[in-house]
Chain A
Amino acid sequence: MRDKTHMEQVERWALFVKNHKRSEWIKHVKPLIDSQINMADRFYQKLKKQKNGMEKIRRLKERD
């Protein structure tokens, strides 16, 4: 269980989103989301090149 400061931060951010236009809050969120996708894909592409890479990816994906 995360401590209560984590939920407090979630609430602060939700209030920011609620009180600002999408064009404002997306500037903060887009780099995070795009980076996460790009980094994850880069990782899988590297893993694919390893010996038994596709099998490792399959096993990783099965855990999701």
Chain B
Amino acid sequence: MAVNRSVSDKTLLDKFVEDFTAVVGRHCKYVVVSGFVAIAHGRSRGTEDVDLIVEKIGVKEFEALFKDLAKNGFECIQPGTPEEVYTDYLLEDASIRFVRKGSFVPEMELKLAKDPLDEYQIKKRVRLPLTGLNVYYSSIETNIAFKEEYLKSDKDLEDARHLRIIYAGKIDEKEVIKIKKMIKRYRLR
């Protein structure tokens, strides 16, 4: 669903995320996760980076994505050829970071789906019209579950509380519990 709004009511973060994901979306499925989900819902805090999970693509697909991102003004902070970055970072389950050429912030922290929980987030990805952005996000239930069960910092618990208030009465609590169980299984073992 395309969102038709004037550019002026988008933050620098909004524009960065929309521009970046527009390129990524041409190559693979992705989800924006964590802090930006709360910020895009009006949470009053800043951040320097946005977290993005993409489906587990091969090196050839990544090379095409990497080149398309470069063509559209984004550069990878990690040094090396696309193949080297893919092998040295992404295949090691480490993230890589992209910025607009000539800038240091914001950063897009990109990683490949590494386990069934990441794959589940991509499978259940959603557009969230309240954000006003043409972007795929992990579900509200997923974000709440991660922040309450796994991340747990003051900032994360406040993000979760913010989302719970915004979506009061619309949150599938059984789904939150299901994802928390998956977090325990795949991340807290």
A40 touches B105 (CB 8 A): yes
Main SS of chain A's interface residues?
helix
A41 touches B104 (CB 8 A): yes
Nearest neighbor of A30 in chain B, beta-carbon distance: B11
A18 lies within 8 A of chain B by Cβ: yes
User: In the assembled complex, which residues on chain B have CB atoms less than 8 Å from the CB atom of A18?
Assistant: 165-166, 168
**Candidates A32, A34, A41, A61; contact of B44 at CB < 8 Å:** A32
- Interface size class, chain B: 20 to 34
A36 touches B165 (CB 8 A): no
Interface residues of A in 8-46 (CB under 8 A from B): 10-11, 13-15, 17-18, 22-23, 25-26, 28-30, 32-34, 36-38, 40-41, 44-45
Size of A's binding interface in residues, CB under 8 A:
32
B39 touches A33 (CB 8 A): yes
- Distance in angstroms between the alpha carbons of A6 and B166 in the assembled complex: 18
Contacts A38-B12, A64-B49; is A17 near B104 (CB within 8 Å)? no
Contacts A33-B12, A34-B12; is A26 near B42 (CB within 8 Å)? yes
Chain B interface residues (CB < 8 Å from chain A): 9-13, 39, 41-44, 46, 48-49, 77, 97, 103-106, 130, 132, 154, 158, 161-162, 165-166, 168
